[in-house]
Structure 1
Amino acid sequence: MTDSKTHSYKTPPYLVKGDTVAITCPAKKLPHNINDAVKLLESWGLKVILGETVNASWNQFAGTDELRASDIQQFLNNPEVKAIFAARGGYGTIRIIDKLDFNSFKEQPKWIIGFSDITVLHSHIQALYQTESIHGQMPLTIPDGSKPSLESLRKALFNEPLEYHYTSEIPNKNGQAKGVLIGGNLTLMVMMAGSTSEQDYTDKILFLEDVGEYLYSLDRMMWNLKRAGKLDNLKGLIVGSFTEMKDNDIPFGQNAEEIILSHVAEYNYPVCFNFPAGHINDNQALILGRKVKMTVQNKEVNLIYTNF
């Protein structure tokens, strides 16, 4: 794997007005149209192409594995398409990741945007091709997305200044750190373990979020990361939203933040909670694979992109 201390990740060309972008469904099928998202992207001056999967259905998926793979493949190969938006998450990207050919993408990188199940794509292209991507709102979530979250996505795509400052609701672990930002959905990060899509966590700043998991399952996944040595050599940890968490009849006894903190309390790197990203309306865009500097002082958190 590429050593982030000596190599920079590639940045796909930023968007300009008049560029063509594509929307595809690599996972679960859409429950309704995405007209609002198309209108928003068009208002940014972009031309929007819809993949066949946007209207396809096969069981819970947006078409068969073969259709979903070929749909995103055509956009990976098309030099006119400057960015690929995953219409939604759900489940299914892991079923097609090994069917995809990234040779064209490697020669001509383009932005891939999404979150949740799309963590598979993020992890894959960062592990194998050291290319930046965007963890942010998707067409399905755009109608409910906060204005700041949608604006952060536009800024990330069009290379406008983007930084984050917020006040956490709960105490953090103080400190300052610099490193390449990786991560996404915790469940999917764990699912990448042992595969070609698994990233090197060493000297990285790790972002994690999740939704709808049992608290004991969260604890189990954190134990997996810890026992595999993934938490040992981080530079910092950013904890986003852990929403709709579930518990058993016999309570686990800790909430999500307490569980995560218990696994990283022994380390010296900074840890911040309540970062505005994940399965929430205010899902701020994060450029994964980009070098960042995080500063945590009590409940105040700053995150900026840097060229250290």
Structure 2
Amino acid sequence: MSKALKLSAGNKVGMIACSDGVRVENLPKVEELIRILNAFGLEVVVANTLYRRDSYFSGNPKDRATELNRLFKNDEIRAIFDISGGDSANQILEYIDYDNIRLHPKPFFGMSDLSVILNALYTQSNSKSYHYQLMNLVSSDGSEQQEAFYRTFFEGQNDLYDFQYHWIRGNHMSGIVIGGNIRCLMKLAGTSYFPDPSNKILFLESLSGRANKIVSLFAQLQQVKYFDKCAGLILGSFTELESYNEFSIVEEYVKDISRIPIVKTNEIGHGSNSRFIIIGENITLYKYN
């Protein structure tokens, strides 16, 4: 696997909310996060669309896309961190300047509902994006995450890049990673932003959903012929599903509807100790004896 983004003291990074705006009551956590990034030597450029204004949104879809485009166009900014989540990210897809992003590429970080943007950036701009929530740095595992973040992005180590996994089927898979949160990825079905799965490795995870909901989403993926074309499947953490000990139901269903190699990891998803996976990155996984 290739090394991740390299940061150094003095670099600028952007912070934005492209999905639901950050709640004002979370201001202390965001301020703490900015202090941590400043302590790393980073200068944080905060978008005008970060906190909620009216109801759920930090701005209308055009406003949020304009701020994202501005951060991408600023060549002084090394990476963009989206710290939002919810249900609103797909509203901005048609307003993103993908040609500009192709000319001014930089890593974009986000997860959950931001899966729609991670995959749109790949399909429209051939960009690589990190499925990762920066708020992990101020979570219950914050100290460990801060250390891992610094080692990964400042010292070039693989702390947040490498993840443990076990094989459900097969012993080898290789390809470009697509996917993210399964519920949010399916918002892209039928659009030009939905990635072509041919010879790709599909990564899927979820916060909510018990077995009936998750199985229904896998059925939809089967019906759009995703599993007929993929080179492999990485199953991340399925938080609610696994809290009810129902993962085996989904595992059996997926094995029944597909014939592709499958691995399971508990280290990528909504957990506060999660690592990242890069959408648009070519990875290879082996079974070691």
TM-score over 0.5 (shorter chain): yes
Alpha carbons of structure 1 residues 254 and 166: separation in structure 2 relative to 1, 3 Å:
closer
**Aligned counterpart, 2:215:** 219
- Between Structure 1 and Structure 2, the one with more helix by share is 2
Displacement, 1:263?
2.3
Contact 1:13 1:110 in 2 (8 A): no
Q: Which among 89, 94, 97 is matched to residue 93 of structure 2?
A: 97
**Aligned counterpart, 1:200:** 196
Displacement, 1:216?
1.9
What SS does the aligned partner of 1:287 have?
A: strand
Displacement, 1:70?
2.3
Structure 1 residue 284 corresponds to structure 2 residue 275: yes
Measure the CA separation in 2 of the matches of 1:165 and 1:284. Answer: 7
What SS does the aligned partner of 2:215 have?
A: helix
- For residues 125-176 of structure 1, the C-alpha deviation after alignment (integer angstroms, 9 at most, x for no partner) is 111221111111233x4311635545554555458242535365xx722411
Q: Which amino acid aligns with 2:10?
A: G
**Aligned counterpart, 1:166:** 164
Contact 1:58 1:64 in 2 (8 A): no
Q: Which among 127, 137, 143 is matched to residue 138 of structure 2?
A: 143
Measure the CA separation in 1 of the matches of 2:74 and 2:35. Answer: 22
Displacement, 1:291?
1.4
Q: Which amino acid aligns with 1:29?
A: G
Tell me the TM-score normalized by structure 2. 0.86
Contact 1:150 1:284 in 2 (8 A): no
Question: Number of residue pairs matched?
Answer: 281
Structure 1 residue 270 corresponds to structure 2 residue 279: no
Instruction: Provide the aligned C-alpha RMSD in A.
Output: 2.8
Alpha carbons of structure 1 residues 143 and 27: separation in structure 2 relative to 1, 3 Å:
same
- For residues 164-212 of structure 1, the C-alpha deviation after alignment (integer angstroms, 9 at most, x for no partner) is 35365xx722411111122110011111111111111111111101112
Structure 1 residue 15 corresponds to structure 2 residue 7: yes
Contact 1:137 1:149 in 2 (8 A): no
- Which runs of 5 or more residues in structure 1 are unaligned? 1-10, 248-252, 301-308
Measure the CA separation in 2 of the matches of 1:128 and 1:117. Answer: 18
Tell me the TM-score normalized by structure 1. 0.81
Alpha carbons of structure 1 residues 173 and 66: separation in structure 2 relative to 1, 3 Å:
same
Measure the CA separation in 2 of the matches of 1:257 and 1:122. Answer: 28
What SS does the aligned partner of 2:227 have?
A: coil
What SS does the aligned partner of 1:232 have?
A: helix
Measure the CA separation in 2 of the matches of 1:257 and 1:79. Answer: 47
What SS does the aligned partner of 2:134 have?
A: coil
Alpha carbons of structure 1 residues 51 and 81: separation in structure 2 relative to 1, 3 Å:
same
Alpha carbons of structure 1 residues 124 and 158: separation in structure 2 relative to 1, 3 Å:
farther
What SS does the aligned partner of 2:67 have?
A: helix
What SS does the aligned partner of 2:122 have?
A: helix
What SS does the aligned partner of 1:284 have?
A: coil
**Aligned counterpart, 2:121:** 125
**Aligned counterpart, 1:4:** none
**Aligned counterpart, 1:250:** none
Q: Which among 58, 63, 66 is matched to residue 62 of structure 2?
A: 66
